[in-house]
Structure 1
Amino acid sequence: MNNPGPLKGLAVKIKEDLPRFWLSEEEEIILSGKIDWLEYLPETDQVHIIDFKTGKNDEDVNSLQLPIYHLLVHYCQHRTVAKASYWYLESSDKPEEQKLPDLAWAEAEVLAIAKKIKTVRKLDHFKCPHGEKGCWACRPMEQIIRGEAQLMGENDYHRDVYVLPSKEKSALGEESSQLI
């Protein structure tokens, strides 16, 4: 790494392995997630949320990643959030600061989507908003449902882990890798 940037300084670790809080006790919705990095800013006793990006594409402007992280940091530790950034590891030597999401907006937006997800799960009626062909997020789940993936077991959070067949072929036409 050419520039360790904030990684060379102090960081904040939230004590819970999987930070979580009640987004709505009435609706029985808990928000949880792993935050990539919390840089400690000693001059103000605040934190800087950093989300590492390993792909080639920039994060969608409508992504809820930073709003969710902002909510988790706000409710799961005591320091205020000074700023939030994406760090595109493939293309940048430093984090790129983003507009800090408004907490009230983030909470309302995430809760509205969580309620929809809860309803869809209760009705067992999953429908991709992108239509019949689905989207990149639905395709792996559809492969699992069709029995095209191998169940490997459970992770530490009691979630099923599957291996999906790779579409990548070597020059010899054989499978060259597996997605895990």
Structure 2
Amino acid sequence: MAVELHEREFDPAALLAQFSSELDDEGAVVSFTGRARSRAKDGGDVEALILEKYRGVTLASMRAIAEDAHTYFPISRSHVVHRAGRILPGEPIVFVATASAHRRAAFEAADYMMDRLKTEAVFWKREEREVGSSWIEPTDQDHLDNARWDRRAGEELCRESMKV
């Protein structure tokens, strides 16, 4: 399990290649890359996304999410990279990779981590626009997506993920 917080742009393809090269006999590798959008939810142009963090707290929150994924899903490895600082449209914000013997666990673990990163990782997010900036929060849909992973049902999630 690897968790990183970067202040500069990263290369998701290079991260995936490195992750894949370190695997043993896993039959499934899943990766997700999130990129900064150029349009806000209201349709306005976004010049940059600013992600502020308190490094120790932010990393601890990211690590807890990854640890939970390893507890709930039969994955052998994971790698999470998140950007902080000023991010331009099109630049990667987050990279998540998971590996498992079977595809379902790898897919669900990556999905689970993304839902929790979106709503629970400790970041303060602000959109910069031509005429000012505004703080942004996770949406109602983000919270609904995260709620489906009721952590009290962790054992059930794990059992379901082991089905091929």
Q: TM-score, normalised by structure 1?
A: 0.30
Task: Judging by fraction of residues, say which structure has more strand.
Answer: 2
Task: Judging by fraction of residues, say which structure has more helix.
Answer: 2
Q: TM-score, normalised by structure 2?
A: 0.32
Q: Which has the higher contact order (CA 8 A, sep 6+)?
A: 2
